[in-house]
Each structure stands twice: as structure tokens, then as C-alpha cells.
Amino acid sequence: IGGTSRMVELWEDLAKLHRVLGLLEREAVVTDLLEGDETTVRIGSETGTGEDDLAVVAASFRDGAGSGRMGVLGPVRMDYRRTIRVI
């Protein structure tokens, strides 16, 4: 998991940040957020995290070294078009 230091810079609500970082420490939650084979976008309650103001964009990748899934967890107001292009 990368980018957590950037989260600290962006979130002013420390209680919220603490809850989100706690979610990311739970392997089952991260696995659920990244589940699927296609590019997926889950917004608010669709994430299943209990944090209705969060969204996740996840996508599969494959290269010469292997394959996997990656995702971006952010606020529901994120730029989805840009995020999907980036991942």
C-alpha cells in the first residue's frame, strides 16, 4: 500500500484519517476493495467500508513479471475519468 503519507497531507479530519488508515491495515478489507477482473468503480456505500464519503477505483494489470490488481482510494469527489486513465 502506497500513498498513505499523501493522505496525511490532504485530510484535515484526523479522526476520519485514522478510520481510513485502520481500514487499509485490514487485509480482508483491501482484498474486498480490489475484488474483480475488470476496471471497477465503487462509490460510497458500494465500497462496503462503512465510510460513505469514500470511493475506490480498481483495475487489473499484467506485464512480463506477472499480474495483479491495483486501486485508488479517495473521496467521492475524486476525478474518476483521470483516476481510471492513471491506473
Query: Contact, 50 vs 26, CB < 8 A?
Result: no
pLDDT, one tens digit for every residue, the chain (87 residues):
666 667 666 667 788 888 888 998 999 999 999 999 899 999 999 999 999 999 999 999 998 899 999 999 988 999 999 999 998
Fold of 4-86: Beta-Lactamase (3.30.450)
Which H or E run contains 27?
helix 27-34
Please give the Cα distance from 3 to 12 (Å, whole number).
16
Torsion angles phi and psi, residue 65, rounded to 5: -90, -15
List the domain boundaries for the chain: 4-86
Look up residue 73 and give its three cell numbers: 482510494
Which SS3 state, helix, strand or coil, does residue 26 take? coil
Model confidence, pTM: 0.81
